[in-house]
Amino acid sequence: MSSKNWDRVPIEPQDVSAPLSTAAIFLSVTIDEGVGNAATARDVISDIGAIVRAVGFRDLPGRLSCVVGIGRKAWDRFGQPSRPSQLHDFSPIVGEAHTAVATPADLLFHIRADRVDMCFEFERLLLARLGVAVTVVDEVVGFRYFDSRDLLGFVDGTENPTGASMNDAALIGEEDPDFAGGSYVIVQKYLHNLDAWNALPVLTQEYIIGRTKSDNVELEVSADERKSHKDLNTIVDEDGVEHDILRDNMPFGRPGHGEFGTYFIGYCRDIWVIERMLRNMFIGNPGGAYDRILDFSTAKTGAAFFVPSIEVLEAIASQ
């Protein structure tokens, strides 16, 4: 792939910054070994826009979108001439009390719409096309919960960047010209111990998160206090520049099975930003002072992907 002039070539990102939806499906698959499977997967994802149009056009106000992420191993199997500069496997982060596990996944499909039936129909057609080339390793159906709350009861997503700063935080720019307009994404599926969480006084919950519960106001904390989730995830570099990511977490669950979760999804221009957040959460900042949200939430999966621009995604099949 030749270098592009970022000023002149119109680059269209995938729907990374799609507006918050009322439903989402997070689908992770591995591509099976064996001749032809990588080629099948490559052809299907290059043409994914056709499936989005087939389902999405049936109800345009339903705002169906799908973002495709490609893991490092799959990228290499696709036989591309070069690799996005920061694409690597997700490494486990082992803290003294909690671990961010790494689990296998070659492709991520982040399917969003305002109707769960549209997400379902899209996933059904997608998997039919992928056929025996892939194995589903994780499938989570998320829902918007009242005023964008997670199942811990807090409003989740408030400090997401918006407008131009959203693109700045989430999209690769001229620092990697062949992959400009792309993004990196990290996902983790968390399961909560809701009984234990709900047994905490609300004030304690608020200090763990760093915001008030009912009205979502940021808490001021003194420097000598143990850092909240919000503070551990505020990343400021040596030059005083704050680095943001774009999140679209979704609650999911099956009360009848005692399952209550948050699917974390974070898009970023620089993957080190999310990795730094995770180190702060799991190892702690300072070391040992880990994120107490983890005493009530266990990461069951963890994987990293590159999200190509539409132009690069469509070209993958022809390589």
Q: Which residues lie near ligand HEM (CB under 6 A)?
A: 150, 152, 154-159, 188, 190, 209, 211, 229-230, 233-234, 245, 262, 264, 266, 274, 277-278, 293, 297
Residues near 110 by Cβ (< 8 Å), separated by ≥ 6?
24, 26, 66, 67, 69, 185, 248, 265
Smaller CB distance to ligand HEM: residue 91 or 158? 158
Distance CA(109)–CA(123), nearest Å, equals: 9
CB 305 → ligand HEM: shortest distance, Å?
A: 15
Distance CA(42)–CA(28), nearest Å, equals: 15
CB 34 → ligand HEM: shortest distance, Å?
A: 34
Catalytic residue among 156, 178, 244, 291: 156
Catalytic residue flag (residue 156): yes
Residues near 139 by Cβ (< 8 Å), separated by ≥ 6?
25, 26, 27, 28, 123
CB 299 → ligand HEM: shortest distance, Å?
A: 8
Distances (CA, A) of 284 to 136, 240, 274, 291, 293: 33, 20, 14, 7, 12
Smaller CB distance to ligand HEM: residue 26 or 190? 190
Smaller CB distance to ligand HEM: residue 40 or 298? 298
CB 199 → ligand HEM: shortest distance, Å?
A: 17
User: What DSSP character marks residue 99?
Assistant: E
Smaller CB distance to ligand HEM: residue 134 or 271? 271
Furthest C-alpha separation in the chain: 59
How many other C-beta atoms lie within 10 A of the C-beta of residue 124?
11
As annotated, the active-site residues are 156
